[in-house]
């Protein structure tokens, strides 16, 4: 599943292509995604211009000229492809995972513009599109979501209060989208390594200095990942067909049995499973 940095790259790619463009037609070949596509979806979007493309957490948000909103969540395997009607492009994928070119199967939604079409492809159908009528509905949709880790709201006061008396481990806290939005398994591993925190440590035992490290390195790791175009796990590509490079900077993720790269550390990276998710950490320097 894409995390905040990958979705940010997709958002930027999509924004560059569709902002201020008018939707000519919507074609839906399968309404049965994670949530069934609303009956009025095609009619509500047809003829509308997209005035902005934004992102919150792992969601892409299309703002229409009537100030309706269309949420897009890519799920586990969803990809967005840009198909030019005048010329065939070698690379159509605006997203990540799977083929650089548009697959023949599992194309569920087509959003047609004057000279190109955005196609949503999703073999596993865990992604979804949802139409919201106004800003009030948009705010309500995210009311239970925690602040993004890269925002100023993810601060010492907030974290200390939220972790008070929390009995679950810190790794699961970072993956809890009601606590902090946008962090997934890959970046949780990296953030905890930089913070020198063992992923199994009980959240209520996280100290003051560790909270400050979580704040610092959550922002640092995610912003660095955005800068390097995301992580190319299973062929992530941006709109220009360029791979994300952040996987080259992994300190612990997918480095089982390798030496810790931290200076003056003689530990090795070990792999365990926490809530059925692979967790990588240094047995020596992450306490």
> What value does the CA radius of gyration of the chain take, rounded to a whole number of Å?
20
Spatial neighbors of 103 by CB under 8 A, at least 6 apart, are: 121, 123
Measured N-to-C along each axis, helices 156-163 and 208-227 cross at an angle, to the nearest 10 degrees, of 120
SS3 for 62-122 is EEECCCCEEEEECCCCCEEEEEECCCCCCCCECCCCCCCCCCCCCEEEEEECCCEEEEEEC
Is residue 255 annotated as part of the catalytic site, yes or no? no
Which residues, in sequence order, are CB contacts of 94 under 8 Å at separation 6+? 10, 13, 14, 17, 79, 80, 81, 82, 118, 238, 239
Question: 199 with 189: CB under 8 angstroms?
Answer: yes
Q: What is the 3-state secondary structure (H, E, C) of 168-210?
A: CEHHHHHHCCCCCECCCHHHHHHHHHHCCCCCCCEHHHCCHHH
Choice among 11, 55, 58, 237 that is catalytic: 58
Active site residue 2: yes
Give the burial class of 240: count Cβ atoms within 10 A of its Cβ; 0-12 exposed, 13-18 middle, 19 or more buried: exposed
283 classed as catalytic? no
Per the annotation, the verdict on 3 as an active-site residue is yes
Phi and psi at residue 74, in whole multiples of 5°?
-85, -10
Active site residues per annotation: 2-3, 58, 277
């Amino acid at each position: 599943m894409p995390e905040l940095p990958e979705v940010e790259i997709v958002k930027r790619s999509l924004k560059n292509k569709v902002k201020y463009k008018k939707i000519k037609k919507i074609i839906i070949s399968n309404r049965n995604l994670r949530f069934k596509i609303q009956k009025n979806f095609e009619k509500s979007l047809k003829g509308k211009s997209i005035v902005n493309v934004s992102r919150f957490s792992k969601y892409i948000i299309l703002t229409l000229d009537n100030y309706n909103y269309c949420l897009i969540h890519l799920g586990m395997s969803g990809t967005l492809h840009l198909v030019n009607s005048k010329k065939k492009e070698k690379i159509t994928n605006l997203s990540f995972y799977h083929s650089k070119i548009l697959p023949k199967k599992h194309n569920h939604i087509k959003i047609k513009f004057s000279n190109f079409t955005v196609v949503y492809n999703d073999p596993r159908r865990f992604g979804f599109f949802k139409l919201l009528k106004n800003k009030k509905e948009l705010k309500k949709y995210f009311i239970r979501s925690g602040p993004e880790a890269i925002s100023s709201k993810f601060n010492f006061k907030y974290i200390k209060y939220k972790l008070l008396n929390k009995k679950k481990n810190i790794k699961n806290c970072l993956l809890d989208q009601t606590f902090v939005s946008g962090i997934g398994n890959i970046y949780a591993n990296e953030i905890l390594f930089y913070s020198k925190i063992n992923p199994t440590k009980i959240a209520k035992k996280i100290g003051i200095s560790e909270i400050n490290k979580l704040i610092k390195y959550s922002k640092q790791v995610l912003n660095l990942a955005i800068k390097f175009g995301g992580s190319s796990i299973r062929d992530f590509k941006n709109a220009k067909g360029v791979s994300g490079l952040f996987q080259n900077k992994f300190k612990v993720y997918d480095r089982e049995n390798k030496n810790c790269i931290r200076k003056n550390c003689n530990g090795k990276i070990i792999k365990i499973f926490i809530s059925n998710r692979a967790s990588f950490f240094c047995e020596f320097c992450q306490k």
